[in-house]
Amino acid sequence: MDNNVWGNITFNDLTQDAEKALNVLVQQPEVDSNNVTLIGHSEGTEIVPRVAINNPDIVDNIVLMGALAQNLREIGDFQGVSLPVLYAQQVLDHNHNGLISVQEASENPAFSSLVGNLTLVLAQNITTPNGTAEQLNPQYNIINDTFISINDELKPRLTDNLKSLSVVTPGEKCNALKGPCPIWLSSKYSSIPNLDIISKIPSNTSILIMQGNNDSQTPIQQASLLQQKLTEVRHPDHTLKTYPNLGHLFYPSSQWVTAVGGPIEPKVTYISSSQKKH
């Protein structure tokens, strides 16, 4: 992976790339340019509507899987702060006193997948002769099995960590394999929410939204917001399909963590504004 490319890429770049790909594909002899369907998953559900709006004479149908309605700033806050805090409150806080065991939290696979390394989350920045380094506050040593406050200690650290992800350091290269790149994040934070974009899709473009009920990355409420907006603007052909027990990747998942699994035979719930088949 070329860090010079991914380190400087923006959401607008990705959208332009998708439009270029569309223009190339519709010129291929094996493609029926009179019946074009675009499919987007996750971030792609923000790109596809924009491409459809910019190419009304080409795009006939769009499919949004694991859709986003809000800006990534709101979704990021849900993924990085609200969801792990809710897990801590409902699963790890056995006494319902607002405290969780550092040791138990560190050893809990689901919680670790939500927050990463709890040691790094709770680390404090210290100044050394060689620069700034992270050091675990002695009070959080898991050997002592100390307890931390969910609202007063865990939540502020998660919030600070989330904010630090979008800080752009001039000249610093980004390794997209290790995490999101700040320039991309910043461009996503400033982008127009999908909820505003989707209302501008041409009325002759069919819209299918597919969402897992246990999606922990783009929760089912995101799809409901899009469905509500399309109903408000009286878009003539839109359908929402929800899949019980499926997560962001459309495999059986818990409500907390997106799972990757094998083939599925999902049950489907339909909410449609038309009788037109997709």
Tens-digit pLDDT string for the chain (278 aa): 566 677 788 999 999 999 999 999 999 999 999 999 999 999 999 999 999 999 999 999 999 999 999 988 899 899 999 999 999 999 999 999 999 998 899 999 999 999 988 877 887 644 444 544 444 454 544 445 588 899 988 999 899 888 887 776 776 777 666 667 888 888 998 999 999 999 999 999 999 999 999 999 999 999 999 999 999 999 999 999 999 999 999 999 988 988 665 444 444 444 555 434 44
Q: Classify residue 52 by its DSSP letter.
A: H
Identify any residues that bridge with 241 across adjacent strands, giving them in sequence order: 210, 270
Q: Structure tokens of 264?
A: 């599925």
Instruction: Identify the residue whose tokens are 């998942």.
Output: 253
Measured CA to CA in angstroms, residue 261 lies from 26, 66, 79 at distances of 33, 16, 21
Tokens 């019946």 correspond to what residue?
Answer: 35
Closest listed residue to residue 154, CA positions, set 143, 164, 165, 162 = 162
66, 67, 68, 69: CA torsion to nearest 10:
-140
Tell whether pTM > 0.85: no
- For residue 125, the surrounding DSSP H or E stretch is strand 123-128
Chain centroid offset of residue 190 CA = 15
